[in-house]
Structure 1
């Protein structure tokens, strides 16, 4: 079944993205900043997006993100029947990627002061999810995520648009990774940069 193969590829690609990106966050948080900084997290997510796309791109297109899949379906570039399967398997891949990091850093999580806190200086919940900064209102947080996700989608659509200046074949994954890096560097302060419902 082609659709199942594509969905499984999305699962694996999203797992790669979340595993490497979340791993960088875990290293930063659990080491108290001695093994990483915000910049390294951004680079990790950018490279993780590239690697995830390289892993699954030839099979499924390498969406790695339900918002990207939704936009491609909305514009008629993908069939709507793919959306539920991609969404489900991208979400499963994200959970598996986070679970791998949870297992890998399990001892460090328990050893960390204030283990499993959601807020405060010793919070570890931010390893696995994004949370708004103390300064952020709900409205601004909403727009923060909408703008970040829209920037990602517009850039991805420009990269894959055959009528645009074409990216040399094989470099699309690296270009999308660069986009993820730039979004993190410029829009990551308020609440991290989830830009991904999975």
Structure 2
């Protein structure tokens, strides 16, 4: 049992690390090398960012699914514990592994792009968004909170739908790609208001790294205190989305005899 849990935690760590490698990696490309020209393709713009994160999620889920179920997100783990019988004793260990994996991914991206980032932002005041999220309107925290609730509710509603064998018959090998498409859709539809973290680990782990790396603007120790929104709101949104699926779809599905 102990070795099984250890394997699951390693899988959650690796899967979340993969998400950050692609997600923060594409953000570093766009921020440190992009010119900001409309329609830029070579170094990318926001469209590239949404694609990079979606692919990261797809590959992370693909890597970890067989061992841990590839939660890769405390909001997913919490919702599964509340609605699908996931053991409560595993919730905190899973969340810690996910957060550490996200932080590790941010560390790798930082050292890979360190020189480019420092040339773009030598005072480390404007590039923490490569690794973590910030609100478009920090003076209106309710807007960012609702945005994160909505995005994560959509994510969990659709994840529950995709993984409910009573609902759809998607081959298991296609689920990672479809989950990636869900993240892509959320990014292109709800991405700019608060960076569509939709995942407390993906946001908080890398934010811790920005503090350790010496970022002056990091949302945690700079007095702005924006860190709690992409941590708390996805947990709330995930429960809402999963609960709505259970209430509005799952309860009406025909059951096999």
Q: What is the TM-score normalised by the length of structure 1? A: 0.94
90, 93, 97: which is aligned to 2:105? 97
20, 23, 28: which is aligned to 2:22? 20
Distance 1:59 1:135 in 2: 39
Q: What is residue 149 of structure 1 aligned with on the other side?
A: 152
Q: What is residue 71 of structure 1 aligned with on the other side?
A: 79
Alignment of 1:41-120 (within 5 A): 41-117=49-125
Decide whether the 8 Å contact of 1:136 with 1:190 is kept in 2: no
* Post-superposition offset of 1:78: 1.3
* Post-superposition offset of 1:169: 2.4
The alignment's C-alpha RMSD in Å is 1.3
Distance 2:74 2:138 in 1: 28
Q: What is residue 130 of structure 1 aligned with on the other side?
A: 133
Runs of at least 4 residues off by over 6 Å: none
Decide whether the 8 Å contact of 1:13 with 1:56 is kept in 2: yes
Decide whether the 8 Å contact of 1:130 with 1:194 is kept in 2: yes
- Extract unaligned runs of 5+ from structure 1: 118-122
Secondary structure of 2:166's aligned partner? coil
* Post-superposition offset of 1:37: 0.6
Aligned length: 193
Q: What is residue 120 of structure 1 aligned with on the other side?
A: none
Distance 1:136 1:146 in 2: 18
Decide whether the 8 Å contact of 1:46 with 1:181 is kept in 2: yes
Decide whether the 8 Å contact of 1:131 with 1:191 is kept in 2: yes
* Post-superposition offset of 1:191: 1.7
Distance 1:192 1:61 in 2: 26
Q: What is residue 184 of structure 1 aligned with on the other side?
A: 187
* Post-superposition offset of 1:106: 0.8
Q: What is residue 170 of structure 1 aligned with on the other side?
A: 173
Decide whether the 8 Å contact of 1:109 with 1:115 is kept in 2: no
Distance 2:85 2:118 in 1: 46
Cα separation, partners in 2 of 1:134 and 1:171, compared to 1, 3 Å = same
Distance 1:126 1:83 in 2: 28
